Chain A
């Protein structure tokens, strides 16, 4: 079966002092329709760069990204439109990802305006629907981002990503900065979405707890390479030192005296 999104021999580097600094090398990754994968790694392991390449935000130096079997480099204008509507993303810092002068309704409708042929009333109905999906009152459509809490703006970003009914949503540390009750709430809402619409997710995070709770399998990035991978159930089995380091860093659930 053709993967929804695949990376083949992906490599990338950034300019550094003197020579270019390699950040990714030899990445092989395939995301299936409706699959939920967590990409974990330390700060600087190349997670966000890989997410950017998978989203086609910049062209990879080596290898290629395939969308339902077609390399991104061969997509025509209509192909890019279909790709953008099918693959959406939510970033870590919600406030910097929205225009502070635009009302929430306009922010959420933006991908609909550019990527779909929906009429104005149909767009409006869709905005109301996705706001409800992420647990926001439709009345927030008239508010500005600055009038909402951080957790609410993060949901606005999520609603915008869901507006085009994407096949895959990439979440780059999109829940890491929320407090635990908000994290659990959002992950549960996303799990419900998966069951209803079969949406696939790529969760990029350094927090093994979130990965384990949400994903079908975990892929570990270390120094720009995929160093380990394992399904989450029945048991997560990761052995590479970079993976063990992340697992061992999970803080205890209970204080020592109560354990």
Chain B
């Protein structure tokens, strides 16, 4: 049976610095008691200005905090049962990152990457080839039989991002975390990737958490949104409601800038 809900509860992340007076260290909070609820078949957007703690909250959810930070609290619940993030990664939760070029081994072809991903699920040989073809077709890379043989440097940023989504699909995880998946792409490639993600959420009932600083991405894709400021989630709810009636000053500021760029009255 596939999971239905993934809840990150009260996540806190901190770093530390030497205290000004005397020996010892003091904690510096970076994410403060952030809770996120993912439901299959729904898109949740995590938004906020640069440096608000969006990516760190995601990293805590995935159990991949960078060096120099540590988790101060919180837990992950899969269908209400506490789970170890490391055990969920690649099984219940797949990830797509911002810079696709750095996420691939430059010396391996796309087919090598796919084989490695599928070996984790004990899929090899003909079954693996079939799963690879299916996933590549789902992301629009199935038309050209030469594609699996390509190295990352032979592919555009948009193709690599599609390939990364294909690898995520191969894990058959019900939840997908995408941290700024289209920030490095031009707007045309961005639109195609967002259309692809929206289609996959519909067709496969994926639960998608998308991290973005672009409210246009939220408007295109999200059912619900959560707004972060200074490490805290200051507002959360249906995207349409937050666009129509933002309560938190951070949400209002993001919306005002977003609408100014669209040439609408703020």
Contacts and interface: CB of A to CB of B under 8 A. Distances in A.
A98 B187 CA distance: 27
A209 to B, nearest CB: 5
B72 interface: no
Given A177-B183, A249-B187, A250-B216, A183 B51 contact: no
Contacts of B262: 209, 250, 253
Quick one: which of A149, A151, A245, A254 has the most chain B CB within 10 A?
A: A254
A206 B187 contact: yes
Interface residues of A, number: 34
Contacts, number: 97
A179 B218 CA distance: 14
Given A246-B188, A252-B216, A252-B220, A179 B240 contact: no
Given A252-B216, A255-B218, A178 B259 contact: no
Given A149-B51, A255-B239, A43 B219 contact: no
A251 B219 CA distance: 8
Interface in B230-266: 239-240, 243-244, 253-254, 256-264
B219 A254 contact: yes
* B194, B254, B260: most-surrounded residue (chain A CB, <10 A): B260
Contact of A180 (B187, B189, B213, B243): B213
Interface in A169-201: 177-184
A184 B216 CA distance: 15
Interface in B204-225: 213-220, 222
A181 B156 contact: no
A42 interface: yes
A184 B262 CA distance: 11
Contacts of A181: 49, 253-254, 256-257
A43 B189 contact: yes
B190 interface: yes
Given A249-B187, A254-B219, A184 B263 contact: no
A128 interface: no
Interface string A138-172: 00000000000111000000000000000000000
A258 interface: yes
20 contacts: A42-B189, A151-B50, A179-B49, A179-B213, A180-B213, A184-B261, A206-B187, A206-B188, A209-B261, A213-B260, A249-B186, A249-B187, A250-B262, A251-B191, A251-B214, A251-B220, A253-B219, A253-B262, A258-B240, A258-B244
Interface of A: 42-44, 149-151, 177-184, 206-210, 212-213, 245-246, 248-258
